[in-house]
Amino acid sequence: MWATVPLHKVAYLESGFGFPPRYQGDENQVFPFFRVSDMNIEGNEVFMCNHSNTVSTPMLKKLGAKAFPVGTVIFPKIGAAIATEKKRILTKPATYDNNVMGAVPKKCVNPKFLYYWFLQLKLADQANPGHVPSIRKSVMEQIPFSLPTPKEQSRIVELLDEADRLRKLRREADTKAARILPALFLKMFGDPTTNPMGWPMKPLGDLADQRPEYGANASACTLIDEMPRYVRITDIRDDGSLSDKKAVSLDSKDWQRYLLQEGDVLFARSGNTVGKTYIYRPDDGQCAFAGYLIRFQFRSGVVDPWFIFGLTRTAYYRGWVESHKRVAGQPNINGQEYASLLIPEPPKLLQERFGKLARATESVLASADRSAEQLESTFVTMLQHAFSGKLTAKWREGHMQELLAEMVQQARLLNLPLPQDPGAAP
């Protein structure tokens, strides 16, 4: 029953403008000037509320730019950022740079409905293949867009807003939960930066059972279900647990040497994830580890591995990583550098007490993670149903006549054939 039109019928597709560095850094002018990186600022997960740069009206004119209205949906259009699938909404008149494209909603579409429609659109599928992927305005303009009437758009937005509100609450709860382990560590052992309890400090390598080990090469990686899971950097969440996404398995003649055992802690050594850590949990099943990860083994009982993992969740460890990582080419730290990290050595009984509490905490957090993933899966399903018409099918039955009147008005506005009353005689 919905009209299907090309995207340009419901929104103007507008590319951004050049923004030379000499004009950047002013935060006190009228119009925010957004770049792709601003989509990562905390608080900008949906609405672009925070910014690093602003420009005045005269500066807009000087740059040959213009401000776009509230409700414009923006997204990356060049490079690797396309694959991040970020979509955001402007909350005030603003402009953006030439790595960004925006969809300015026309009167026939609810801006929030347009935003949700973009959430289920995979930008990577619209990009030109090549060394540097890019999205063309002409390609975007022709994407088919199913357009409900204004009342049904509002109903869909209402339902998706409620689901999104629950996702936001879940994310806020997860953020708070991620602070539990560092807070517990600091309460029991103090800040390693100042070491207020005067614990002996030893290099990490002196507490490990053997020299640090590098993981299996990615070339040995295939999709063979009966082999152990191949743990990559991208499989490790920020809280140090493994994601539940489809695992790649390891098929290699010497895969057994890379198998993880209880007491193993992995450290990321390369790329933007340098410093990320994972402690092996037997509940994760049989796992081997990838080449961009470094294994330290703590099985002899000299130190509790959960104590080591707890320390890596603190600001002390993050500060150490920042001060030691090399940034030539891409950030990286090698095994010997990790081995030099100074670790406090409290009494073993205190470490074991922390380990028991940490494992109990992780069990609760793992349950919360599963709940969060179910919530995300439900939201994705709702998006699919929203744009197939299933989400509001029953609601539509009770509002058919008023919707039909809106459809006639909508058809005239978009120069489309007039709809027929489904209840009328043939």
Residues 322-375 have pLDDT tens digits of: 999 887 667 889 999 999 999 999 999 999 999 999 998 888 877 777 777 788
Phi first, then psi, for residue 214 (nearest 5°) are: -95, 150
More confident residue, 370 or 267: 267
Q: Is the pLDDT of residue 226 over 80?
A: no
- Distance, in Å, from the CA atom of 21 to the CA atom of 186, rounded to the nearest integer, reads 41
Mean pLDDT of 6-11: 96
**pLDDT on residue 244:** 67
In this structure, is the dihedral angle defined by the CA atoms of residues 339, 344, 348 and 352, taken in order, positive or negative?
A: negative
pLDDT at position 225 over 60: no
CA–CA distance, 31 with 33 (Å, rounded to integer):
6
pLDDT grade for 241, boundaries at 50, 70 and 90: confident
Please report, to the nearest 10 degrees, the dihedral formed by the alpha carbons of residues 105, 106, 111, 115 taken in order: -40
Q: Which one, of 395, 213, 358, 361, lies nearest residue 293 by Cα?
A: 213
Query: Could you tell me which residues come within 8 angstroms of residue 174 by beta carbon, excluding any fewer than 6 positions away?
Result: 239, 368, 369, 372
Domains 1-147 and 194-345 are alike in CATH topology: yes
Contacts of 136 (CB under 8 A, 6+ apart): 128
Mean pLDDT of 136-148: 95
Residue 181 parent element (H or E)? helix 180-189
**Which sign does the torsion angle of CA 15, 17, 18, 23 carry?**
negative
- Supply the CATH classification number for the domain 1-147: 3.90.220.20
Other C-beta atoms within 10 Å of 293: how many?
A: 26
Question: How confident is the model over 204-228, as a mean pLDDT?
Answer: 76
Across 333-371, b (16+ Cβ under 10 Å) vs e yields bebebbbebebbbbeeeebeebbebbeebbeebbeebee
Residues 72/98, Cβ–Cβ less than 8 Å:
no
Q: Cα–Cα distances in Å, from 289 out to 210, 250, 266, 278, 284?
A: 17, 9, 8, 11, 13
- Residue ranges per structural domain of the chain: 1-147, 148-177+347-426, 194-345
The pair of three-digit structure tokens given for residue 98, joined into one six-digit string: 């030439």
425 band by pLDDT with thresholds 50, 70 and 90: very low
Q: What is the mean pLDDT of residues 389-410?
A: 82
Q: The domain 194-345: what is its CATH number?
A: 3.90.220.20
pLDDT at residue 143 in the model: 97
Would you mind telling me the total number of residues written for the chain in this entry? 426
Q: Are strands 88-90 and 73-76 parallel, antiparallel or unpaired?
A: antiparallel
Is residue 112 within 8 Å of residue 383, measured between CB atoms? no
Average pLDDT on 315-319 reads: 92
Phi, psi values for residue 216, rounded to 5°: -75, 145
pLDDT confidence of residue 57 = 96
Q: Report CA dihedral (233, 47, 161, 72) to the nearest 10 degrees.
A: -110
Ramachandran bin of 109, using left for φ above 0, alpha for ψ from -120 to 50, beta for the remaining angles? beta
